């Protein structure tokens, strides 16, 4: 073999190798990985095109890939394989699991059922823009792709729950009618779903994944509940602590404990949509009631101090408590009814509280309007009552009134100042994320832990005091 001929062969081999490497590392131009399908085990025709799913994928829409892309966009290395940009030629639709599998609602994983044949997928009812419906075979009308877009989801089942009603359009997007939310096909997938002896292809809706810090905060929230209940028990158990102020305080603690228990339960219990909505509405009622009881406690304290200053004859405490109860429960019912009414109205979703939609409590974007706003207004009124109380206490001191004793208004005032500060700081910590971008900072995480530990802090402020401990010890011995 002559040297020029050998050199020419070597050059051709190098060019061939260079072309192969370049082809292996090249993606299909103007085609996202999500729009491609694997063409492994499919042989191209003479023109280099691939027959797939009833379409012909031309050579210029294929390439060799040495990676795959996960649902979150992470790329993982795989052996070199050919892929084609099928979704540019025909509408794709996402199936959550591999053939013969379905999603399990409990484990949130794809499983292979033992007693159910999925050899043939059921037909789909799809709608045009004019809402004309057609029954189609998923394998004929679409290019099926296997992809689970999220880890935290709910399977829609309109035959079980009317709030799960949806419309599947020809472009594979889904309209979740209860939210009036159009979900692109990349953000949902279909899974075989067994209900009432019938298999159907049902979509999922994705929810934001709960961060680990959220579970930490909810754990502290759950731990706070026993401390709130212990505080209530102490103030009911010790006779010397039974007065109108402390009756209001107990009501505040009880409503706050119930609301806290319901809120923390959502982290550990998976509720259905209807149960979640009931839990969220009940939680909202008791949480807003707690702030109204704190407001009444501050008002009653000022009224009592004012009565000492002006030597006023106060009404029967029991009658006062009845008036206070009517005010609190009426206000809480009104706020709750308004929130529920708006939730079921035709108003823009941005103004709805979102109770039970993606979360059980009010959605974060509406919390300022329905919860933090009203509670902040009550805190402003509390500040006003505290200023008036400080002024009256100052005048009483100058007038040399004798107000010592177990139920001293000065003592009560100091206690409720501490309680007000706790709730006020808690409110500020809740509002800060709406006005400053520090949600993910370590300082904010620490404040969040403090905020969710309110029950423990309240127990320390109201129970772990020398006076209360002495009274508790005396009552225990008696």
Domain containing residue 381: CATH number: 1.20.1070.10
Q: Where are the alpha helices (DSSP H) in 211-347?
A: 212-237, 244-265, 273-309, 317-343
Looking at the structure, tell me whether residues 153 and 76 fall in a common domain.
no
Q: Which of 73, 88, 103 is at the close of a domain?
A: 88
The structure tokens listed for 56 are: 């012909």
HEC string of 368-389 equals HHHHHHHHHHHHHHHHHHHHHH
Looking at the structure, tell me whether residues 374 and 285 fall in a common domain.
yes
Looking at the structure, tell me whether residues 164 and 20 fall in a common domain.
no
Q: Which of 139, 171, 206 is at the close of a domain?
A: 206
CATH number of the domain where residue 167 is located = 2.170.180.11
Looking at the structure, tell me whether residues 79 and 133 fall in a common domain.
no
Closest of 210, 208, 190 to residue 199, by C-alpha: 190
- The confidence score (pLDDT) of residue 24 equals 45
Task: Please report the sign of the dihedral spanned by the C-alpha atoms of residue 408, residue 414, residue 420, residue 422.
Answer: negative
Looking at the structure, tell me whether residues 348 and 389 fall in a common domain.
yes
Q: Measure the CA–CA gap between 321 and 100, rounded to whole angstroms.
A: 64
Looking at the structure, tell me whether residues 202 and 221 fall in a common domain.
no
| Count of structural domains within the chain | 3
Looking at the structure, tell me whether residues 120 and 189 fall in a common domain.
yes
Which structural domain range is residue 160 located in? 93-206
Average pLDDT, the chain: 81
How do residues 139-192 score in pLDDT, each as one tens digit? Answer: 889 999 998 998 888 889 888 877 788 999 999 999 988 777 789 988 999 999
Position of tokens 């339960």?
265
Position of tokens 């409590």?
361
pLDDT confidence bin for 22, thresholds 50/70/90: very low
Per-residue pLDDT, averaged over 232-255, amounts to 89
Residue 19 has pLDDT above 50, yes or no: no
Looking at the structure, tell me whether residues 62 and 118 fall in a common domain.
no
Decide: 320 and 248 in contact? Cβ < 8 Å: no
Q: Measure the CA–CA gap between 365 and 353, rounded to whole angstroms.
A: 8
Contacts 24+ apart (CB under 8 A), 137-140: 138/93, 138/95, 138/190, 138/201, 139/53, 140/54
- The confidence score (pLDDT) of residue 6 equals 56
Looking at the structure, tell me whether residues 278 and 179 fall in a common domain.
no
CATH number of the domain where residue 73 is located = 2.30.160.11
Q: Which of 206, 232, 266 is at the close of a domain?
A: 206
How do residues 340-370 score in pLDDT, each as one tens digit? Answer: 998 888 887 778 888 877 678 887 777 778 8
Per-residue pLDDT, averaged over 79-90, amounts to 92
Looking at the structure, tell me whether residues 166 and 197 fall in a common domain.
yes
């Amino acid at each position: 073999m002559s040297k020029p001929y050998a050199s020419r062969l070597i050059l051709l081999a190098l060019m061939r190798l260079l072309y192969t490497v370049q082809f292996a590392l090249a993606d299909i131009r103007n085609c996202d990985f999500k729009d491609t399908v694997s063409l492994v085990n499919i042989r191209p025709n003479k023109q280099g095109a691939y027959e797939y799913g009833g379409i012909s994928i031309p050579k210029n829409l294929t390439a060799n890939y040495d990676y795959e892309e996960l649902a979150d966009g992470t790329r993982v290395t795989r052996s070199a394989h050919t892929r084609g940009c099928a979704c540019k030629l025909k509408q794709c639709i996402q199936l959550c699991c591999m053939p013969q599998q379905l999603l399990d609602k409990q484990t949130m994983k794809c499983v292979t059922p033992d007693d159910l044949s999925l050899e043939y997928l059921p037909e789909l009812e799809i709608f045009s823009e004019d809402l004309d419906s057609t029954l189609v075979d998923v394998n004929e009308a679409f290019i099926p792709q296997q992809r689970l877009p999220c880890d935290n989801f709910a399977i829609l089942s309109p035959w079980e729950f009317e709030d799960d009603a949806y419309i599947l359009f020809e472009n594979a997007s889904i309209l979740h009618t209860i939210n009036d939310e159009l979900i692109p096909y990349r953000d949902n997938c279909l899974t075989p779903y067994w209900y009432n002896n019938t298999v159907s292809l049902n979509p999922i809706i994705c929810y934001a994944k709960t961060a680990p810090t959220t579970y930490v905060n909810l754990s502290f929230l759950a731990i706070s509940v026993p401390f709130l209940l212990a505080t209530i028990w102490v103030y009911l158990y010790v006779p010397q602590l039974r007065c109108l102020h402390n009756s209001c305080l107990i009501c505040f603690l009880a409503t706050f404990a119930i609301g806290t228990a319901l809120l923390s339960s959502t982290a550990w219990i998976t509720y259905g949509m209807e149960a979640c909505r009931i839990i969220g509405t009940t939680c909202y009622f008791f949480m807003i009631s707690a702030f109204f009881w704190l407001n009444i406690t501050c008002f009653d304290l000022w009224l009592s101090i004012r009565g000492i200053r002006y030597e006023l004859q106060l009404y029967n405490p029991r009658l006062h408590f009845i008036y206070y109860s009517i005010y609190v429960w009426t206000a809480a019912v009104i706020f709750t009814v308004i929130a529920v009414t708006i939730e079921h109205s035709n108003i823009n979703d941005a103004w709805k509280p979102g109770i039970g939609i993606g979360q059980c409590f009010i959605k974060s974007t509406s919390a300022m309007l329905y919860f933090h706003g009203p509670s902040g207004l009550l805190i402003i009124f509390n500040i006003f009552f505290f200023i008036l109380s400080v002024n009256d206490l100052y005048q009483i001191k100058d007038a040399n009134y004798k107000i010592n004793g177990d139920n001293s208004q000065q003592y009560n005032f100091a206690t409720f100042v501490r309680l007000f500060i706790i709730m006020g700081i808690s409110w500020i910590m809740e509002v800060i994320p709406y006005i400053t971008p520090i949600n993910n900072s370590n300082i904010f995480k620490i404040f969040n832990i403090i905020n969710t530990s309110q029950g423990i802090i309240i127990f320390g402020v109201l129970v772990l005091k020398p006076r209360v401990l002495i009274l508790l010890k005396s009552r225990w011995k008696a």
